[in-house]
Amino acid sequence: MFSSTTFDILHQRDVMLLFLQGLGVTLQLFACSAVGAFLLGAILASLHFVGRVPSLLVQVFVGYHRNVPAIVQFMVWYFGIPQLFPQSWTGWTDEHLTGFFFAVVALTLNAAAYISEDLRSGFRAVPNGQYEAARALGLSYVTTLRRVLMPQAVRASLPALINQAVSLFKATSLAMAIGVAEMMYIARQVDGATYATFASYLVPTVLYLACTLSLMACGEWLQNRLATR
Amino acid sequence: MLDILDRFGLSLLIGQAPHGPLGGIALTLLMSLAALMLAFPLAILVALARGSAWKPVRRVAAVYVYVIRGIPLLLLIFWAYFVLPLMTGFDAPASVTVVAALIVYEAAFLGEAIRGAIAALPAGQMEASRALGLGYWRTVRHVILPQALFNCLPSIVNQFIMIVKDTSLAYIVGAHEATFAATQINAQLLTQPLQVYLILAGIYFVLCYALSQLSKLLERRVTLRRNRPVAQAPLTEASA
């Protein structure tokens, strides 16, 4: 267990390079999904103001993503959805719709559902007069939303959004279940190949903590900067 | 869909229960309940340690909470399943190791929820109780915790929803819970992955949605209770 060999892999360049590649894939998954989830979340949150039917549809979307385990959502996308494609597409889909693609789709939709709820409660924190004043000044509905309401809603829900970002970063680890070679997948591979079990899981632990703790620290800094002056 | 349910419904529900190990949704619920019950006392300790008057205790609790919040649950499950047996020489079944990982993981999150509820109590509660001569532990037991835990009942239920969803990760290390059962069924059918996984999603949805409605109900009850007018002490002859 703590034989001299377990930490040997830490000095092996190719093993450490593998881990760094895994970290790269994790960061890519996170970056793509974070951008997509925030945009989609903002759109979904705004849809609540449009009318009753869109609002209801958003609630169904949010209900599905909040009450079903993320890993099951991954499976529905990766194993289930390709079943709907016609046979003739098979060549193209196998080439272009990889595990990485479906992982990003699943992560984006999942995080968007949570983010839209956070923004929605952020909107509730913005006084009604803000909307009325902006409209009275002649700003269009979309401009009001984008320049007046959204910034304030984001500020109000910032702590929750930071939490979502950390959760999303952690959720990228689920992509290993559909064969994406991110950090956890690499850890399993290294463990299987070298039997240096302890070190194989120690490295991703340190890397994950470095990333998530910096995310939390950035969040703190942002919050202090955006604090209503 | 219906034909799948007809053929495999029982194995989704209880695994190979009468003849083999318990599995399926029954195991999912069993693991979730075990994790909640066992994480609960640990979570209370974490909450108290985070607000302790002793700096070292506060430090240790803070490090614990931040480390756990900073790593994916899957990694913790791998630590429990692959690394711990090597360190202790103790080999436990997959479902037990996952419950152990869930306890450690959830104690941090539940602990933060309870800490929030304790912080939300008026400071006068602690002060009045100490002024009446109750010691720290008696104050915590009879004054602070009953109120704080009641106030955070909704978030305890929400944590339970998280736990039910999180047990699905156990299939990766081969525990026979609902998600594992579904992957087995899918491997047998081979042609209907979408139906199988949508059924699985539906099962989790029904479970967790029902729990979230319970959480909303409790939320209303807690709010009502909080806003109840405080009973007035009857005027006695002496004070009149």
Residue A42 CA to its chain's centroid (Å): 14
- In this prediction, residue B240 has a pLDDT band, given cuts at 50, 70 and 90, of very low
Q: What percent of chain B has pLDDT over 90?
A: 72
Whether A170 and chain B come into contact, CB under 8 Å, resolves to: yes
Closest-CA residue of A relative to B79 is: A201
Distance CA B165, CA B213 (A): 16
User: How many beta-carbon pairs below 8 A join chains A and B?
Assistant: 117
* Cβ neighbours of B177 in A, within 8 Å: none
CA distance B229 to chain A (A): 27
Top-confidence residue, B87 or A4: B87
- In this prediction, residue A83 has a pLDDT band, given cuts at 50, 70 and 90, of confident
Cβ–Cβ below 8 Å for A201 and B83: yes
Q: Do B174 and B94 meet the contact criterion of CB atoms below 8 Å apart?
A: yes
Q: Mean per-residue pLDDT for B127-134?
A: 94
Report chain B's mean pLDDT, rounded to a whole number. Answer: 90
* Cβ neighbours of A173 in B, within 8 Å: 72, 74-75
Helix B24-50 and helix B153-166, axial crossing angle in degrees, nearest 10: 130
Of A1, A72, A166, the CB nearest to B204: A72
Q: Mean per-residue pLDDT for A102-125?
A: 95
DSSP code at position B94: H
Structure-token pair, residue A73: 């959502």
Q: Mean per-residue pLDDT for A141-170?
A: 92
Of B15-29, B132-146, B153-167, which gets the smallest average pLDDT? B15-29
Q: Do B39 and B102 meet the contact criterion of CB atoms below 8 Å apart?
A: yes
pLDDT in tens, B152-171: 999 999 999 999 999 999 99
Whether residue A68 is predicted with pLDDT greater than 80 in this model: the reply is yes
What's residue B28's pLDDT?
95
Cβ–Cβ below 8 Å for A205 and B197: no
Cβ–Cβ below 8 Å for A75 and B78: no
The answer to whether the Cα torsion of A198, A192, B69, B179 is positive or negative is negative
Instruction: Please state, as a whole number, how many other Cβ atoms lie within 10 Å of the Cβ of residue B42.
Output: 16
Whether B169 and chain A come into contact, CB under 8 Å, resolves to: yes
Whether A66 and chain B come into contact, CB under 8 Å, resolves to: yes
What's residue A229's pLDDT?
54
Whether A68 and chain B come into contact, CB under 8 Å, resolves to: yes
Cβ–Cβ below 8 Å for A184 and B193: no
Name every residue whose Cβ is closer than 8 Å to that of residue A92 and which is 6 or more positions away in sequence: none
* Cβ neighbours of B209 in A, within 8 Å: 63, 67
Closest-CA residue of A relative to B81 is: A197
Backbone angles phi, psi at A88, to 5 degrees: -65, -20
What's residue A29's pLDDT?
97
Of A105-119, A141-155, B67-81, B194-208, which gets the smallest average pLDDT? A141-155
* Cβ neighbours of A69 in B, within 8 Å: 165-166, 168-169, 179, 204
Distance CA A96, CA B38 (A): 46
In sequence order, the β-bridge partners of residue B24 are: B177
- With tokens 């970063």, the residue in question is A169
